[in-house]
Amino acid sequence: MEFHLWLSLVVICILGALSPGPSLALVIKNTLNGGAAQGYATAISHGLGVALYAAITATGIGLLIVQSPMLFDAIKYSGAAFLLYLGVKALMSKKQNIEFANQSDAINPSINGWRDGFLIAFLNPKLAIFFLALFSQFVDADAGWQQKAIMTTTVGLIDMIWYVVIAYAMSRGPILDKLKANSHIVDKVTGSFLILLAARVVMN
């Protein structure tokens, strides 16, 4: 893959990662309620989920998903149900005293960053459409597995690094102090946002 094409892919992926959405809300929520470790787990697993979708699309399976309305709808509504579950769970949370020290009692056992990050990415069939549109600009018909592997790795790493940075920023400093003091408000806002996104998925 030519270097200038790779740079173009990097820029597009960075812009895509910077776009606010349910993934950003989830990383912030899990970092706030589960500490840096759960925030990093959410970020890494989200990057793996995105990379998996990119790999599926690059190998042509993504086209099958898009061309099969039943399969696409099944994934879409599963994703909406998961967003709804996360939103309701956040709305029902109560104010708590959260500490992010490196201690075992600082971890909220109800937070599962590895699961949440992966599922919120994998249960988003619109990623298939995005990658089909994106990869069609970069992948030739005779492209080898090396080029596809580079593209897939690039997409996953950029997504992962961005959300790791978010988790790092949210788990320390003055931002953390304000978030800890208003954790229940953050949960309510995040939960409402996720439920609205779930409704939007179903209505579209």
C-alpha span between 18 and 8 (Å, rounded)? 16
Residue 102's pLDDT is 43
User: pLDDT tens, 140-181?
Assistant: 556 677 888 888 899 999 999 999 999 998 877 666 566 666
Residue 90's pLDDT is 77
**pLDDT of residue 94 exceeding 70:** no
| Burial category of 102 from C-beta neighbours within 10 Å (exposed 0-12, middle 13-18, buried 19 and up) | exposed
**pLDDT of residue 202 exceeding 80:** no
pTM, rounded to two decimals: 0.73
Residue 1's pLDDT is 65
**Locate tokens 């996360």: which residue?**
86
Residue 149's pLDDT is 87
